[in-house]
């Protein structure tokens, strides 16, 4: 629909009356008045008072190729004119889904050649939980159902993804913490390193994972998940030896390694995916945001050949999103 021309105060009043915002105090926001963004171009956004603002966070770490890319508008328009929607539930597919899965297999690292599509990073990480548990069940190890994440980790806002992450204020809202999820220290050298060098702290933070595995029992753990760089937790860049040590520990204890690429994927760290920047090979890799540069909601989860070959023998996959 066409956007009616109103002034900032009118939009703010309407917003306060009808629009519930995420991650804020609605009463305080209504008193202050929301900023109304009306247009964007390149790396700048413009508000209803005609202020030009440098969008340093690229939307919410998602507009990887910038605003105003006409080629993205054109291809989306052409797709909507030809086929705006069809599902993949009824043993069907579409050329665009098929071609995208093929293209992702070409750029994803190693043997990550199989992709399950969804609409958001939260849905992608819910998929990670269900599919990882299904994988271990098919392998005859149903007790391996717990997940280890990190304090200040963020993996989405659905009930399961909230539990996967390590944000206490999210756990506290509505008693949202589900059973089966454990958390270890985040690899934040500036906050926790003390007198250790970054390399010493990198090993110390990684070994917190092994300590948790020994506490919980490797036979009870499905996977470890982490963002290559923790975004919402404070843009935490771990020491360079942290991720290789994490991978070594996961391999030692037969635990799946999940690299959450929702923020770091599609060039954020100079490689296609953040795990490549740190030199590790995950078993499962959720992605979203930069996948469409935020122009449309889309996400996917990449699975290794070995995981797919296992679940391929496990009967129907009773999971999916429209």
Closest of 115, 88, 84 to residue 321, by C-alpha: 88
Which DSSP state fits 178? P
Residues 164, 150: Cα–Cα separation, whole Å: 9
Among the listed residues 212, 222, 281, 214, the one whose alpha carbon sits nearest the alpha carbon of residue 254? 222
Asked if 160 and 129 count as a contact pair (C-beta separation under 8 A), the reply is yes
Structure tokens at 269: 């760290």
Alpha-carbon gap, residue 27 to 34, rounded angstroms: 11
Give the pLDDT band of residue 246 (cuts 50, 70, 90).
Answer: very high
pLDDT digits (tens, 9 = 90+) for 29-78: 999 999 999 999 999 999 999 999 999 999 999 999 999 999 999 999 99
Q: What is the pLDDT of residues 65-109, one digit of tens each?
A: 999 999 999 999 999 999 999 999 989 999 999 999 999 999 999
Asked whether the predicted pLDDT for residue 3 surpasses 90, the reply is: no
Give pLDDT, residue 5.
82
Share of the chain above pLDDT 70, in %: 99
DSSP annotation of 75 reads H
CA distances from 279 to 89, 138, 176, 271, 288 (A): 36, 30, 34, 11, 21
Q: Taking the domains of the chain in order of start, what are their residue ranges? A: 8-70, 82-311
CATH class of 82-311: alpha beta
8-70: CATH number? 3.90.1150.10
pLDDT of residue 244: 98
256: Cα separation from own chain's centroid = 17
Q: Return mean pLDDT, the chain.
A: 97
Q: Are 8-70 and 82-311 equal in CATH topology?
A: no
pTM recorded for the entire structure: 0.96
């Amino acid at each position: 629909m066409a956007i009616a021309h109103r002034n900032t105060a009118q939009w703010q009043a309407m917003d306060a009356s009808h629009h519930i915002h995420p991650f804020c105090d609605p009463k305080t926001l209504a008193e202050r008045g929301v900023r109304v963004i009306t247009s964007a171009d390149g790396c700048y956004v413009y508000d209803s008072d005609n202020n030009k603002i440098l969008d340093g966070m690229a939307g919410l770490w998602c507009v990887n190729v910038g605003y105003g890319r006409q080629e993205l508008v054109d291809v989306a328009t052409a797709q909507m004119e030809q086929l705006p929607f069809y599902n993949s539930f009824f043993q069907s597919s579409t050329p665009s889904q098929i071609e995208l899965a093929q293209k992702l297999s070409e750029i994803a690292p190693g043997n990550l050649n199989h992709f399950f599509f969804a609409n958001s990073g939260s849905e992608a990480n819910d998929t990670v939980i269900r599919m990882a548990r299904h994988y271990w069940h098919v392998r005859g190890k149903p007790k391996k159902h717990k997940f280890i994440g990190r304090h200040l980790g963020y993996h989405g806002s659905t009930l399961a993804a909230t539990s996967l992450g390590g944000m206490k204020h999210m756990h506290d809202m509505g008693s949202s913490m589900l059973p089966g999820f454990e958390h270890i220290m985040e690899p934040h050298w500036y906050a926790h390193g003390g007198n250790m060098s970054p390399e010493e702290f990198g090993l110390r933070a990684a070994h917190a994972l092994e300590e948790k595995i020994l506490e919980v029992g490797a036979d009870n753990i499905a996977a470890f998940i982490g963002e290559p760089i923790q975004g919402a937790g404070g843009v935490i860049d771990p020491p360079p030896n942290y991720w290789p040590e994490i991978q070594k520990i996961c391999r030692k204890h037969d635990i799946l390694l999940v690299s959450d690429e929702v923020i770091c994927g599609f060039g954020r760290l100079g490689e296609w995916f953040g795990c490549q920047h740190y030199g590790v090979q995950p078993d499962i890799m959720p992605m979203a945001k930069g996948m469409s540069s935020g122009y449309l909601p889309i996400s996917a989860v990449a699975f290794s050949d070995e995981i797919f070959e296992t679940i391929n023998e496990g009967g129907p996959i009773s999971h999916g999103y429209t």
